[in-house]
Amino acid sequence: MPQQLLPFLAVVMILTLTPGPDMALVLRNGVRGGVRMAWWTGLGCCAGISVYAAASAVGVAAVLAASATAFTIIKLAGAAYLIYLGILAVWHARKQPPVTASTETGTAAPDPATAFRQGLLSNLLNPKIALIFLTLIPQFVSPGEPALPTTATLAAVFLLVAVAWWRLFSLAVGVLGAVLSRPRVRVNIERVTGVVLIGLGLRVATSAH
């Protein structure tokens, strides 16, 4: 058991609960498809985290962090993907029929494979996740601890926290489903999350790190 597991867990929980592209994407798909689509999107996000966790263990992420060109390419690709999703969300909201008391249908929900893929790509195209594993985890490996097993354990904890969070978040979307499924609320959330995704994409594209 890593000696600094509890402090690491506290930091990971803060990072996980901080709103970002993942949360906007999961909320958007949850509003459109309920608990199931929110959960599949969250699982995709977790799959992206697991890829970087494995990559960091074998040193691939270190190469990515050391190469400014590789980092920039992935960063811009991720920014473009977020902006694309944001524009798509705003466009879907724009195409919604006029909101009336009798309106019962809205934008079709994504299928599980699409939701999973969106969550996966959202994280795979975010090189900052690789940097989290490279810069955060080593700080919680105490002197004398075996580096590889301790790093692997901390990465697994990171992933488990993410899985637990997205499960709770998807269930919360389900509890609020009656409210979120109202046409006016759904359209407004679609617009807001679309704008947020575009803003996050622009922020990623213009960030120095």
Q: Which of 26-30, 41-45, 138-142 shows the lowest mean pLDDT across its residues?
A: 138-142
Task: Establish if 192 belongs to a structural domain.
Answer: yes
Residue 135 forms part of a structural domain: yes
Contact predicate 166/35, CB 8 Å: no
pLDDT of residue 47: 94
Domain annotation covers residue 1: no
Least trusted range by pLDDT, from 87-91, 105-109, 152-156, 165-169: 105-109
Residue 4: per-residue pLDDT: 83
Amino acid 63: pLDDT: 67
Q: Are 6 and 142 in contact (CB under 8 A)?
A: no
Residue 2 lies in a domain: no
Name the more confident of 92 and 101.
92
Question: In the chain, pLDDT over 70 holds for what percent of residues?
Answer: 82
- The tally of domains found in the chain comes to 1
pLDDT number for residue 150: 82
| pLDDT of 149 above 60 | yes
CB atoms near residue 137 (< 10 Å) = 23
Q: Is residue 115 a part of any domain in this protein?
A: yes
Structure-token match 């009656």, residue found: 178
Q: pTM score, two decimals?
A: 0.70
Q: Answer yes or no: is 3 within a domain.
A: no
59: left (phi > 0), else alpha (psi -120 to 50), else beta?
left
The pLDDT of 129-139, averaged and rounded, is: 75
Q: What is the average pLDDT across 204-209?
A: 70
Residue 71 CB-density burial (10 A; 0-12 exposed, 13-18 middle, 19+ buried): middle
Q: Which domain holds residue 27?
A: 8-206
